Amino acid sequence: MADKNKQPDLGEVLARLGDLEVELVAARGEAAAAREDLAAMKEELERKDRIIAWLQKKMFGKSSERLDPNQLDLDFDEATLGKPEPLPETGDTGDAPEGAAEKEKDAAGKKLNSTPRTSGSSSTRSSSQQK
């Protein structure tokens, strides 16, 4: 128990205090470097957020839906594209038995007529096709 009552040596205390001061200076330097890194990372994140916002505006904004006026000047007439070839006549094949072509046409017509139509999409298509 005599060791507990013994006072620490002043030289040891001063040496320990000097070590603690060195550690404190090093810790403060590390903290300052960490704050600088954090500030740099925040700036980089803000820059990337601005880039993302700009890209989203370009892709999905009002300007993304604009029509180029030169698009309407495209020339898709017979002089440019050429005249389409006439469709081959179905009766000239000779391979199919007589009346087979008419039966195929009838079957195709029945398929088209039996296909259910939705009221919204067919009326919208036909009105937009007429314009």
Q: What is the pLDDT of residues 49-95, one digit of tens each?
A: 999 999 998 888 876 666 777 777 777 777 777 777 888 887 655 55
pLDDT beyond 50 at 33: yes
pTM for the model: 0.39
pLDDT at 67: 72
Distance CA 41, CA 37 (A): 6
Distance CA 50, CA 90 (A): 63
The total number of residues written for the chain in this structure: 131
